[in-house]
Amino acid sequence: MDKPLKDRVAAVTGATRGAGRAIAVELGAAGATVFVGGRTTRGSRSPIGRPETIEETAELVTAAGGRGIAIRCDFTVPADVDAFRARIESEVDGRLDVLVDDVWGGEQGVEFKPFWEADLERQLGMWRNSMEAHLVALHRLLPLVIRRPGGLVVEVTDGDADTQYSGMLAYDSVKAGVRRLAYALAKDLEPHGGTAVAVTPGFLRSEQMLETFGVTEENWRDAIANEPHYVMAETPHYLGRGVAALAADPDRARFTGQCLSSWSLMHTYGVTDLDGSKPDWGRWNVDVVSTGTAPTSVDASVYR
């Protein structure tokens, strides 16, 4: 099997679950050595009570064909990130070809109500656990990325444009801020031959979203009865495969500064989801969501 990233080293922040885990695994499937960082380990419980651990992520990376290295790290704490960097320095002589910045940790701040009615500390916590964590990770790890020309930085966000409001001020500002990080980083990395992009999934079938809808990966379609747009749901591996394809593309610099999506990566590289489908949430959003068309009246197979 082709391993286009066999000699590459990647680091994924926020790799415990969801998109971060899947991106790490797909980079591993392409042959990369992947340092996976997060707060939840087998000996350190998740702050939000989730069962996934970074050790499991590392094991999945290795099982997929790469080399997974788990490091417990709170990316809001510079000393933790210094230790994360030190492991990269000691294990692979400081080589870092791909940095995926996927820290989130804002679940407890999700409140769909006017900002002034929301819990302020939770909203500030969302900012600290996402934007602040991204900045700390970048400050400590970018020096490794620029040691060699051709480095890639991937900022993981939600949504590919600033023209739609998510319904939450703090959440919206965080996700827009992450997209802007990619744009700014593209300017900073250009003199070093580096590329920076933001990426977004569509309607994600993450572990937490499946649980929210009361379904599993095996029967996820049962959730469509309560949320018709879930017919376009995609696994985190769909975005993961797109990111791995981007990392292996020698001409990826043409995308620098842009926000790419799982569906645009599909159109560019021909990647599929785990079931072989190609969900196009972007097209569905334009044709169905934004027009108020009843999802049940549309042939969803045309968009997959």
**What's the CATH code of the domain at 120?**
3.40.50.720
Q: Most distant CA pair in the chain: distance in Å?
A: 57
Place of tokens 């610099």: 253
Residue-level pLDDT at 148: 95
High-pLDDT (> 90) share of the chain, %: 85
| pTM, full prediction | 0.95
Beta strands in 157-287 (DSSP E): 195-200, 259-261
Coil/strand/helix, residue 100: strand
Q: What is the pLDDT of residues 225-277, one digit of tens each?
A: 999 999 999 999 999 999 999 999 999 999 999 999 999 999 999 999 999 99
Angle, nearest 10°, between helix axes 262-269 and 236-248? 50
pLDDT at 1: 67
Q: For position 2, what pLDDT does the model report?
A: 87
State the residue range of the domain holding 50.
9-303
* 3 located within any domain: no
DSSP string over 229-265: GGGG-B-HHHHHHHHHHHHH-TTGGGGTT-EEEHHHH
Residue pointed to by tokens 């079938």 = 205
Residue 125 belongs to a domain: yes
Q: Is residue 1 part of a domain?
A: no
What is the Cα–Cα distance from 148 to 136, expressed in whole angstroms? 21
Rounded Cα distance between 198 and 257, Å, is 7
Return the sign of the alpha-carbon dihedral for residues 248, 139, 158, 63: positive
Domain count, the chain: 1
